């Protein structure tokens, strides 16, 4: 959304990334070009050098929309200057529950993704790009493939694009539905036809990535922002949202809200506004109240119903004990839900999705699921809460114990629930399993 006046006034924004939602003809090359499509790519390839493009994206401080929030232009500049081959991988796996913003973009604006890919490919000197698409995205696969075919037929992909001398080939590689393949090196391994196991780093993909060549990995939403930066300039992009979290952002919201869906706004929006504002979630259904929210997908951790004034940007979530903004996909839990069911479902997901390479993740996620399953089955003990806190505190890349961040996500999801809902969990244990409480008290005494 473009901020043109008072950011508290909803009428002062207009859609940027979602401007083609509800415009079926925008899926076609003719319709996309009629609405200004590919002008940014033509500008970049014919009027700017590759370094100029990188500098403009760096100046805009476009931070990755896939979860980590790392600046895209900085990532592009990590590539070795003396490289002879570069690959570009587009992360369209979108496996973080319940994130679906990339899916919306591919369904409604496939040429925007292709245009962003062309510009990123030109900036990084890549001649081959792979769109790694989640295997379940069957309809989206056909939509994007049709757009790619149209672009090839019009000379927008292939050799000598816009007469610039630059050429790019784009291929879709369909994944198998593994959560861990959303991690960039797991994605790379999968494209190579191997098991999607994340690699030990270093070397990082910028040095040794796909087929052991320098590689850049960006997600769909990140690349869809690039044409707007090139067309309108970095200053325009920096004028949207708070400092350090600039540009339009897609937010997903699901759960018992009146209007679940995917919405666009600047990152000065609060979680409360996302849930309650009639332009977004529209408030809770059936008079229910918010008990908890996972604001960035389940892996970033949870906030309580008293923490809804958190801003959905790259810095505020850490103040509330979260891992980060993540994918900005809010999962709302209402006050009728037993928090034990929530924590069990979260633990079950991560236990199932762990690739098993790292002992603390393979065993830790399994232990957490067993303990949360016991809690949900009215057989929990107070010491289970301490064990869950201890196990989750010793998992992940942050304490230096894993190859990728899956176990960090599992840990934050569990330990934030334990920390913020411990009293409720203890009440459930005392009510449902008093014998366990009695035994625990006898041991203490």
Pairing of strands 215-219, 248-254: unpaired
Report pLDDT for 440.
Answer: 45
User: Which positions ≥6 away from 20 have C-beta within 8 Å?
Assistant: 26, 27, 32, 35, 108, 109, 112
- Tell me how many degrees the CA angle 127-132-136 measures, rounded to the nearest 5: 155
Q: Return residue ranges of the chain for CATH 1.20.1440.230.
A: 339-444
Q: Domain 248-330, what fold?
A: Ubiquitin-like (UB roll) (3.10.20)
Query: Which CATH class, in words, describes the domain spanning 10-238?
Result: alpha beta
User: Which positions ≥6 away from 431 have C-beta within 8 Å?
Assistant: none
Asked: is 339-444 a CATH 1.20.1440.230 domain? The reply is yes
Report pLDDT for 5.
Answer: 31
Report pLDDT for 399.
Answer: 81
Instruction: Please classify residue 442 by burial: count the beta carbons closer than 10 Å to its beta carbon, then call 0-12 exposed, 13-18 middle and 19+ buried.
Output: exposed
Report pLDDT for 12.
Answer: 66
Name residue 169's beta-bridge partners.
128
The two three-digit tokens of residue 53, written as one number: 């493009």
- Tell me how many degrees the CA angle 12-18-21 measures, rounded to the nearest 5: 120
364 within 8 A of 415, measured Cβ to Cβ: no
Q: Return residue ranges of the chain for CATH 3.40.50.11540.
A: 10-238
Q: How far apart are CA 368 and CA 391, in angstroms?
A: 8
- DSSP label at residue 197: P
- pTM of the predicted model, to two decimals? 0.92
Report which of 356, 76, 360 is spatially closest to residue 223, judged by C-alpha positions: 76
Helices (H), ranges, 27-83: 29-34, 39-47, 50-60, 72-77
Compute CA distances 161 → 50, 84, 147, whole Å: 14, 20, 16
Q: How far apart are CA 330 and CA 312, in angstroms?
A: 10
* 345: enclosing H helix or E strand: helix 339-353
222 within 8 A of 251, measured Cβ to Cβ: no
Report pLDDT for 438.
Answer: 53
User: Which positions ≥6 away from 384 have C-beta within 8 Å?
Assistant: 371, 374, 375, 429
Summarised one tens digit per residue, pLDDT across range 368-388 is 999 999 999 999 999 999 999
pLDDT > 70: percent of the chain: 95
Report pLDDT for 397.
Answer: 85
Instruction: Please classify residue 229 by burial: count the beta carbons closer than 10 Å to its beta carbon, then call 0-12 exposed, 13-18 middle and 19+ buried.
Output: buried
The two three-digit tokens of residue 327, written as one number: 């994918």
The two three-digit tokens of residue 304, written as one number: 């309580």
Q: How far apart are CA 383 and CA 146, in angstroms?
A: 56
Q: Return residue ranges of the chain for CATH 3.10.20.600.
A: 248-330
Residue ranges of the chain with per-residue pLDDT less than 50: 1-10, 437, 439-445
Report pLDDT for 7.
Answer: 38
Q: How far is CA 142 from the centre of its chain?
A: 22
């Amino acid at each position: 959304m473009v901020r043109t006046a008072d950011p508290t006034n909803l009428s002062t924004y207009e859609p940027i990334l979602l401007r083609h939602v509800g415009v079926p003809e925008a899926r076609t090359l003719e319709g996309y070009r009629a609405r200004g499509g590919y002008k940014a790519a033509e500008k970049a390839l014919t009027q700017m050098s590759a370094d100029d493009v990188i500098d403009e994206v760096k100046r805009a401080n476009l931070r990755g929309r896939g979860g980590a929030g790392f600046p895209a232009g900085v990532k592009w500049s990590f590539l070795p200057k003396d490289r002879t081959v570069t690959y570009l991988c587009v992360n369209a796996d979108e496996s973080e529950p319940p994130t679906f913003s990339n899916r919306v973009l591919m369904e409604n604006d496939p040429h925007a993704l292709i245009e962003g890919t062309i510009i990123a490919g030109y900036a990084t000197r890549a001649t081959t790009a792979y769109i790694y698409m989640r295997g379940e995205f069957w309809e989206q696969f056909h939509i994007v493939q049709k757009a790619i075919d149209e672009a090839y037929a019009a000379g927008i992909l292939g050799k000598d694009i816009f007469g610039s001398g630059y050429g790019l080939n784009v291929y879709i590689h369909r994944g198998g539905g593994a959560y861990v393949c959303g991690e960039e090196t797991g994605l790379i391994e999968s494209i190579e036809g191997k098991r999607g196991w994340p690699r030990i780093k270093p070397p990082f993909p910028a040095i040794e990535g796909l087929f052991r060549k320098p590689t850049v990995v960006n997600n769909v939403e990140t690349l869809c922002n690039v044409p707007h930066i090139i067309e309108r300039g970095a200053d325009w992009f920096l004028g949207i949202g708070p400092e350090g979290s600039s540009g339009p952002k897609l937010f997903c919201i699901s759960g018992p809200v009146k209007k679940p869906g995917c919405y666009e706004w600047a990152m000065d929006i609060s979680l409360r506004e996302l849930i309650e504002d009639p332009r977004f979630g529209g408030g809770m259904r059936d008079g229910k109240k918010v008990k908890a929210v996972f604001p960035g997908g389940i892996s970033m951790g949870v906030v309580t119903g008293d923490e809804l004034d958190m801003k959905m940007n790259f810095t505020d979530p850490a103040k509330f004990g979260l891992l980060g903004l993540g994918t900005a996909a809010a999962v709302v839990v209402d006050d009728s839900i037993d928090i034990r069911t929530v924590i069990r479902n979260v633990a079950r997901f991560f236990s199932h999705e762990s690739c098993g390479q790292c002992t603390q993740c393979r065993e830790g996620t399994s232990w957490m699921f067993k303990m949360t399953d016991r809690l949900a089955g009215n057989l929990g003990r107070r010491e289970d809460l301490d064990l869950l806190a201890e196990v989750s505190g010793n998992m992940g890349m942050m304490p230096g114990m894993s190859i990728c961040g899956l176990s960090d996500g599992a840990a934050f999801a569990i330990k934030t629930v334990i920390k913020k809902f411990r009293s409720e969990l203890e009440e459930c244990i005392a009510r449902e399993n008093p014998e366990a409480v009695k035994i625990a008290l006898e041991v203490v005494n």
